[in-house]
Every structure is written in C-alpha cells, then in structure tokens.
C-alpha cells in the first residue's frame, strides 16, 4: 500500500463547517476518511461507490466476506438502502423512533441498488443512523449513505479517539475528522427483527452493545444467537478473535485461577482499581489500569474499555489479565468484547 499523508482536522463548533466540507469533498471523489461516531470511529466511504467501498476493505485489510454497516443521514434514506417488510414495519418504526439517531443497527433486506460488496454479497444489510452530530452533518451534506466499519485494522482494537485512529491507519488515509472521544465507546448493538403472529417480534441479537437487552425488551423478545467463542462465526463478521491487543489477554474468571509464570510481566485490567481488592491483591502487577476508577460504573467502563486495552497493550507487559464484570446491562457488551479479545489465535 502506498504511503499517504494523513491530515487530522478538528470538528469543534467553529471548525465544523470546514471539516464537513473537506470530508464530503474527499468522499465524493471516492476516497475513504475516518469519522467520529458516538460509538467508535468509523472508516467511511460513499456506500453507493463500489470502488470506494473496496478501498475500505483494502485499507483495513478486512476480508471481503465481512460485511459493512451502512449509515443514513435521515430516516427517509432508510428506504434507499433497505427494504422494510410489511410484517416488521411497525417494530422498525418503534425501535427507530426510540433509539435513532443512536447506537442500534438493524439487519434488514438489502435494497437492490446498494452495491453487493457492502453486504459481502448477502441479501441483508446492517443499517443505522449515527448519534454523532459531526457524522450526521457529513452524512446529510454528502446526500448519500455512508458505509463505515470501525476505523481499525482488521481484528484489532476499535478506536475511540482520533489519536487511536492515527495509530491504526495513519499513512493509509488522507483525513481523520477529530470529533473528540466517543461517548459510548463500544460498537452499536446489532439486531435482526423476526415477526411473530399476534406477539411482540423476536429481536435476534447479532452483537451486544450500548442499547442493552433491558432497553430493547419493551419492544420485542431479545434472543441471543448461540455461539461459542473459538468456533466458526454464527453471523457474518462476528469472528471470535476480534478487538484484540497484540499482547495476549486472559479473562480471569476467578482470582484463584491465576498462576503467574516466573519472570513474566503482567498488567491488570481492573474494574475499579484502587489499593486493594481480590484482583489487585493477587500479584505485584507491573501496571494496573482501571476501567471505572473508584466508583465502578458500567457506563464509564464501556467508554474507557478500548482506551484502557490500548494503554495496557502499549505498556510492554507479557500478558494482560482482565477482571470479569457482572453481566447485566452494559456489562453484557463489555464482557463480549473481553471474551473476543482473549481468544488466542
Ligand atoms: O458502532 C458501530 O456499529 C461502528 C460505527 C463505525 O458505526 N461500526 C462497526 O462496524 O462496528 P464493524 O464493521 O466493525 O462491524 C460490522 C459488523 C460485521 O462484522 C458484522 O458482524 C455485522 O456488523 N454485519 C454487517 N452487515 C451484516 C449483515 N448483513 N448481517 C449480519 N451482520 C452484519
Ligand atoms: Mg469492527
């Protein structure tokens, strides 16, 4: 891949117009650019330009069997990228009016005009409307849907800041729009809606995320797709080993299972950190990073997860030990990412 100079432009209030103009200019000419969303940074391309979409796969080194998420600027654009079947129209209306713009992705039958490469040849498309002001402004100004996977190299940690994108893709893309730190920090929840006669629909959960099971239950029956980490993916793209640091990461279910090897350097990913606790007290850690320092709040842990994973990855330890979190609410999505990060290839 030839080296490109990567510019970073700020998208705060004063510089927003300029950033939007610059990003749209590049997207219109078939380039790919990194944009902030409320979940993680995305590597964006005009979804209706197959060459630009192909470039996304190339820049990320992503296998083309792993489909991309399509982002729309406004609700009516949904019909340009997807077909909403009559039997789930009501449910689609309910969840989109509740959670859009926001971190909920729907898997729907694909519109025939959308290039096949976006969905890796699948008959269905994953679509959402981002809750980021900057992203939506670019989406609307472009007047086209945006295909955007997370802006990391394939299988690596998702970026939640412009600096993290630069580490992942610097030299490969012409522009990173800096919208600050992502407020959710975890990729969107992905569901597929299956109709049921006379009952609330089934929401097949393809990926746990910021919109939790508890939040979705009002509208449908959430069913997790059964999957064993380490086995073949249940859904396209949901590969077991994902979000992975270069340093081996072990999710340590019980403190008593820890058997440190002589001479090896260990870093702890702690939930609350602090001076003591069952995991903090286990070992003379080379480094301890806390997901939610002091208070132990799941929302804060979600926002900081990928940032902390990167910090520990860069700390020069031989192994990262991660403390498990309770699997309720956002804890489900956080534990999903930790399990995937801990799969050894
Ligand atoms: O929060 C997010 O969703 C972020 C931001 C940038 O919007 N995007 C993101 O994209 O996480 P990515 O490419 O890292 O994850 C996309 C995943 C695929 O790996 C796959 O699991 C699922 O979305 N997906 C995409 N199209 C699908 C389809 N047609 N059927 C089932 N799953 C699909
Ligand atoms: Mg990703």
Domain ranges of the chain: 7-75+116-178, 249-341
CA of residue 68 to ligand 1 center, whole Å: 5
Do residues 136 and 15 make contact, with C-beta atoms less than 8 angstroms apart? Answer: no
Q: In the numeric block, which tokens belong to residue 182? A: 């992502």
Tell which atom from ligand 1 comes closest to the C-alpha of 122. 29
The per-residue pLDDT for 44 is 98
The per-residue pLDDT for 178 is 98
CA of residue 244 to ligand 2 center, whole Å: 11
**What is the pLDDT averaged over residues 37-56?**
98
- Residue with the bigger pLDDT between 64 and 210: it is 210
Do residues 72 and 145 make contact, with C-beta atoms less than 8 angstroms apart? Answer: yes
CA of residue 7 to ligand 1 center, whole Å: 26
pLDDT reading at 239 higher than 70? no
What is 7-75+116-178's CATH number? 3.90.870.10
| Closest by Cα among 320, 313, 315 to 246 | 313
Measured distance between the N- and C-terminal CA atoms of the chain, rounded to whole angstroms: 25
Ligand nearest to the backbone CA of 190: 1
User: How many CB atoms are closer than 10 A to CB 266?
Assistant: 20
The per-residue pLDDT for 244 is 83
The per-residue pLDDT for 232 is 42
**Pocket of ligand 1, beta carbon within 6 A:** 37, 39-40, 42, 66-69, 103, 105, 107, 119, 122, 124-126, 148-150, 187-188, 190, 206-207, 235-238
What are the two backbone dihedrals, phi and then psi, of residue 39, each rounded to the nearest 5 degrees? -95, -70
Q: What's the pLDDT band for 234 if we cut at 50, 70, 90?
A: very low
CA of residue 214 to ligand 2 center, whole Å: 24
Do residues 270 and 291 make contact, with C-beta atoms less than 8 angstroms apart? Answer: yes
Question: What whole-number distance in Å separates Cα of residue 109 and Cα of residue 6?
Answer: 36
The per-residue pLDDT for 134 is 97
The per-residue pLDDT for 345 is 61
pLDDT digits (tens, 9 = 90+) for 296-343: 899 999 999 999 999 999 999 999 999 999 999 999 999 999 999 998
Domains 7-75+116-178 and 249-341 share a fold: no
- What is the pTM assigned to this prediction? 0.93
Ligand 1 mutation pick, 45, 62, 190, 232, max ligand atoms within 8 A of CB = 190
Ligand 1 mutation pick, 125, 237, 303, 333, max ligand atoms within 8 A of CB = 237
Tell which atom from ligand 1 comes closest to the C-alpha of 186. 1
3-state secondary structure the chain: CCCCCCEEEECCCCCHHHHHHHHHHHHHCCCCEEECCCCCCEEEEECCCHHHHHHHHHHHCCCCCCCCEEECCCHHHHHHHECCCHHHHHHHHHHHHHHCCCCEEEEEEECCCCCHHHHCCCCEEEEECCCCHHHHHHHHHHCCCEECCECCCCCCCCCCCHHHHHHHHCCCCCEEEECCCCCCCCCCEEEEEECCCCCCCEEEEEECCCCCHHHHCCCCEEEECCCCCCCCCCCCCCCCCCCCCCCCEEECCCHHHCCCCCCCCEEEEECCCCCCCCCHHHCCCCEEEECCCCCCCHHHHHHHHHHHHHHHHCCCCCEEEECCCCCCCCHHHHHHHHHHHCCCC
pLDDT digits (tens, 9 = 90+) for 47-106: 999 999 999 999 999 988 899 999 999 999 999 999 999 999 999 999 999 999 999 999
Domain at 249-341, CATH class: alpha beta
- Out of 15-19, 36-40, 197-201, the most confident range is 36-40
Question: What whole-number distance in Å separates Cα of residue 191 and Cα of residue 100?
Answer: 14
**Considering only CA atoms, which residue is closest to atom 20 of ligand 1?**
237
| Closest by Cα among 154, 124, 136 to 35 | 136
Question: What whole-number distance in Å separates Cα of residue 95 and Cα of residue 267?
Answer: 41
């Amino acid at each position: 891949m030839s080296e490109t100079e990567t510019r970073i432009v700020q998208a705060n209030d004063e510089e927003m117009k300029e950033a939007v103009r610059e990003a749209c200019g590049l997207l219109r000419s078939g380039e790919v650019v990194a944009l902030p969303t409320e979940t993680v940074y995305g590597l964006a391309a005009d979804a209706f330009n197959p060459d630009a979409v192909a470039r996304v796969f190339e820049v990320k080194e992503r296998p083309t069997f792993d489909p991309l998420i399509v982002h729309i600027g406004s609700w009516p654009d949904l019909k340009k990228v997807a077909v909403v079947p009559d039997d789930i129209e009501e449910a689609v209306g309910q969840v989109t009016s509740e959670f859009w713009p926001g971190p909920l992705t729907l898997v729907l039958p694909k519109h025939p005009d959308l290039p096949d490469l976006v969905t890796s040849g699948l008959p269905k498309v994953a679509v959402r409307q981002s809750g980021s002001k900057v992203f939506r402004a670019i989406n609307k100004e472009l007047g086209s849907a945006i295909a955007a996977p997370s802006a990391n190299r394939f299988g690596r940690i998702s970026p939640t800041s412009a600096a993290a994108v630069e580490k992942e893709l610097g030299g490969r893309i012409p522009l990173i729009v800096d919208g600050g730190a992502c407020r959710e920090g975890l990729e969107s929840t992905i569901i597929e809606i299956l109709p049921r006669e006379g009952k609330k629909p089934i929401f097949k959960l393809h990926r746990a995320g910021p919109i939790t099971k508890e939040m979705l239950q009002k509208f449908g029956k959430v069913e997790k797709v059964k999957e064993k980490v380490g086995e073949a993916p249940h859904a396209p793209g949901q590969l077991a080993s994902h979000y992975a640091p270069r340093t081996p990461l072990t999710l340590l279910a019980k403190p008593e299972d820890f058997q440190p090897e002589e001479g090896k350097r260990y870093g702890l990913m702690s939930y609350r950190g602090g001076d003591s606790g069952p995991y903090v007290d286990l070992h003379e850690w080379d480094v301890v990073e806390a997901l939610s320092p002091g208070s132990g709040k799941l929302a804060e842990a979600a926002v900081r997860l990928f940032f902390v994973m990167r910090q520990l990855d860069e700390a020069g330890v031989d192994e990262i030990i991660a403390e498990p979190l309770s699997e309720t609410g956002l804890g489900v999505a956080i534990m999903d990412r930790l399990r995937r990060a801990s799969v050894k290839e």
